């Protein structure tokens, strides 16, 4: 039996969340006495200060996110919804964001959450000299973060419309989680071994990287908002099983109740009696030509070549064969269905090998002068699966139209280092025109893309991370910066949708596929608010309700 997750599945839970978030009195469901066992590929994080990581690793999040709360969360449609903050507003000049912090929220040790805790948590992650967190990248534009009463003020040196996203659960990763300053001052770094959060679960123990035991936070002194988020199961055990066949076996033997499944295992399990939940658009992938705008001799400066390389890809065929139907062609990168700024109505590039050959011939490439490309790809745990296999399939599509394609399967960090070190062919003006480097990227399907795209496509040479030449093709950066400076959420969404359409019209990126995340669940599990789709690991475990 298989069921596809939709927002309807969890309407009740989401509704109660939103009600609670808005301050409405919500009923406090009691936690079931039962135990829930979930499985993750990897489990780390106890004893590790979150500021010492580039981002909270996906292997931490299965337990971390249920123990700690964020100031802002994102709903299933990607909208920002209140969590520890009840509201946030920007000043007229766009330089100050003020967050109003929810009152009466309790930490697991009984301390009351204060605005000072929020400011302290955020200041640490951005400004602490020991911080290596992603959020340190915001430091140059953040002037100060201070607390006054129940409000936190973030003052920036230039207007920053994206500030609320920095602290949201998804885009900010661990950046927006709030920790107790008083507890830290009391126990120091022991805090990271015995974490105290405000979340629906509290950590009881952790057996190395093998398992974590959590118990529902049921203190009567909790705020109404916290009571509205009472965990469905009183006890939660999260087990780590790095091998996918082991995870499947744990589900089949009844040793686990919720298990993330590799796509390769899903087909086998269909019809086996195991119930499957498919979360569409969990991960996404894109490919782009590194020579465009950076190397004047690159064939990618010719729009016909860019289009030819995109429409030569049989996206649906790859979705059906490589992903066994658990993926679909995408029309834009970071603009998937339901996301903020989704370009509604924009169709994925149609597969048209004949036109592709024609365009290449017009651009001067045929059997006597075949176009050469090198596809650079990496498989990254937690991101889009089967990337390397997809690259091989694309190379096959290219071979069909006479393009000589090779696939360079690398390690993620090595690829990134080469990318930002301008080592791939086409990244320097004097590089030979071919082979064209086609860089493939996969990632979880976040609902906010501007900063990510801006990192790649704005001139940021001081940082050393630019893969774009602003002088040659300034419109990309201008559009992204305009979106970053737009404070009206709806207008911003429209600008993002326009951006995606403009990218598609100019064939600037090759959106590939979005893939589903698939979970196997036991008969113990009822509803589950999967919330933001872009998570391939078991998350939001507090919202899992016992089956009736």
Task: State the residues that interact with another protein by CB under 8 A.
Answer: 42, 44, 47-49, 52-55, 57, 129, 132-134, 136-140, 207-211, 239-243, 245-246, 249-250, 252-253, 255, 381, 411, 413-414, 416-417, 420, 451, 455, 462-465
Place of tokens 């939660």: 236
Task: Quote the CA–CA distance of 131 and 127 in Å, as a whole number.
Answer: 7
Residue 70's nearest CA partner among 547, 544, 543, 540 is: 540
Q: What is the DSSP string of 119-151?
A: HHHHHHHHH-TT--SGGGGGGGGEEEEEEETTE
Whether the Cβ atoms of residue 346 and residue 331 lie closer than 8 Å to each other: yes
**Residue number, 92 or 253, with CB nearest to another protein:** 253
Min CB(212)–another protein separation in Å? 12
Tokens for 530, please give them. Answer: 């999967």
| Least Å from the CB of residue 226 to another protein | 30
Determine contact, residues 403/312, Cβ cutoff 8 Å: yes
Rounded least distance, CB 239 to another protein, Å:
7
Contact call for residues 199 and 71 (beta carbons, < 8 A): no
Helix (H) or strand (E) holding 242: none
d(CA 524, CA 544) in angstroms, rounded, equals 10
Min dist CB 213 to another protein, Å, is: 11
Under 8 Å CB-to-CB from 381, ≥6 apart: which residues?
41, 42, 58
Least CB distance from residue 379 to another protein, whole Å? 11
Report which of 153, 172, 165, 144 is spatially closest to residue 65, judged by C-alpha positions.
172
Nearer to another protein, 447 or 542 (CB): 447
Distance CA 511, CA 443 (A): 12
Q: Enumerate residues 6+ apart whose C-beta is below 8 A from 34.
A: 233, 234, 235, 524, 546
**Which residue, 44 or 180, is less far from another protein as judged by CB?**
44
Minimum Å distance from CB 5 to another protein? 26
Cβ distance to another protein smaller for residue 25 or 208: 208
**Closer Cβ to another protein, 309 or 521, answer by number:** 521
What gap in Å lies between CA 221 and CA 105, rounded to an integer? Answer: 9
Closest distance of CB 453 from another protein, Å: 12
Least Å distance, CB 209 to another protein, is 7
The nearer residue to another protein, 272 or 406, going by C-beta atoms, is 272
Q: Which is nearer to another protein, 58 or 519 (CB)?
A: 58
Q: Least distance in Å: CB of 288 to another protein? A: 16
Nearest to 113 by CA among 164, 71, 169, 64: 71
**Per the structure block, which two tokens stand in for 533?**
């789709």
Q: Which residues contact 525 (CB under 8 A, 6 or more apart)?
A: 36, 257, 258, 275, 544, 545, 546, 547
CB of residue 529 to another protein, shortest distance in Å: 28
Token pair for 460: 């940021």
* Residue number, 44 or 484, with CB nearest to another protein: 44
Tell me the residue length of the chain.
Answer: 548
Nearer Cβ to another protein (79/213) = 213
Closer CB to another protein, 107 or 447, in the complex: 447
The residue among 149 and 464 lying less far from another protein, judged by its C-beta, is: 464
Q: What is the closest distance, in whole angstroms, from the C-beta atom of residue 539 to another protein in the complex?
A: 20
Give the Cα separation of 418 and 420 in Å (integer). Answer: 6
d(CA 365, CA 485): 42
């Amino acid at each position: 039996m298989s069921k596809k997750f939709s927002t309807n599945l969890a309407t009740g839970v989401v509704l109660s969340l939103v009600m609670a978030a808005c301050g409405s009195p919500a009923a406090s469901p009691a936690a079931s006495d039962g135990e829930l066992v979930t499985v993750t590929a990897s489990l780390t994080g106890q004893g590790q200060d979150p500021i010492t990581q580039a981002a909270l690793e996906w292997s931490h999040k299965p337990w971390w996110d249920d123990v700690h709360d964020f100031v802002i969360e994102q709903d299933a449609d990607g909208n920002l919804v209140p969590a520890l903050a009840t509201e946030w507003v920007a000043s007229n000049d766009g330089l100050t964001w003020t967050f109003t912090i929810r009152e009466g929220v309790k930490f697991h040790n009984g301390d009351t959450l204060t605005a000072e805790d929020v400011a302290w948590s955020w200041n640490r992650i951005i400004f602490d000299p020991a911080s290596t967190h992603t959020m340190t990248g915001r430091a140059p534009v953040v002037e100060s973060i201070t607390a006054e009463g129940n409000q936190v003020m973030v003052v920036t040196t230039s207007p920053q419309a994206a500030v609320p996203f920095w602290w949201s659960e998804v885009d900010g990763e661990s950046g927006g989680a709030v920790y107790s300053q008083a507890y830290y001052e009391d126990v120091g770094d022991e805090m990271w071994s015995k974490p105290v959060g405000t979340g629906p679960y509290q950590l009881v123990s952790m057996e190395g990287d093998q398992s974590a035991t959590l118990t529902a936070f049921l203190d009567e002194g909790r705020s109404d908002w916290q009571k509205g988020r009472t965990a469905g199961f009183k006890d939660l055990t999260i087990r780590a099983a790095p091998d996918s066949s082991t995870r499947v076996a744990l589900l089949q033997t009844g040793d686990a109740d919720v298990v993330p499944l590799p796509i390769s295992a899903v087909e086998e399990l269909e019809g086996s009696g195991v119930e499957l939940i498919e979360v569409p658009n969990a991960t996404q992938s894109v490919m782009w030509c590194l020579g465009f705008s950076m190397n004047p001799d690159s064939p990618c400066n010719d729009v016909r070549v860019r289009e030819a390389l995109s429409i030569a890809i049989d996206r649906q065929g790859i979705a059906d064969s490589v992903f066994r139907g658990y993926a679909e062609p995408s029309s834009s990168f970071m603009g998937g269905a339901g996301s903020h700024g989704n370009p509604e109505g924009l169709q994925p590039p149609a597969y048209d090998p004949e036109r592709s050959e024609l365009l290449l011939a017009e651009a001067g490439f045929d059997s006597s002068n075949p176009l050469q490309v090198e596809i650079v790809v990496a498989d990254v745990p937690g991101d889009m699966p089967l990337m390397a296999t997809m690259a091989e399939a694309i190379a096959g599509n290219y071979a069909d139209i006479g393009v000589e394609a090779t696939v360079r399967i690398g390690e993620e960090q090595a690829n990134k280092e080469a990318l930002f070190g301008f080592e791939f062919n086409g990244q320097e003006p004097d590089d030979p025109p071919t082979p064209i480097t086609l860089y493939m990227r996969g990632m979880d399907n976040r609902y906010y893309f501007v900063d990510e795209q801006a990192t790649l496509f704005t001139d940021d040479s001081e940082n050393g991370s630019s893969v774009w030449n602003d002088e040659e093709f300034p419109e990309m950066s201008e559009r992204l910066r305009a979106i970053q400076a737009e404070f009206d959420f709806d207008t911003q969404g429209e600008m993002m949708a326009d951006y995606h359409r403009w990218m598609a019209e100019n064939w600037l990126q090759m959106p590939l596929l979005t893939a589903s995340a698939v979970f196997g669940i036991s008969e113990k599990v009822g509803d589950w608010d999967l919330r933001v789709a872009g998570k391939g690991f078991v998350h939001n475990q507090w919202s899992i309700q016992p089956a009736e």
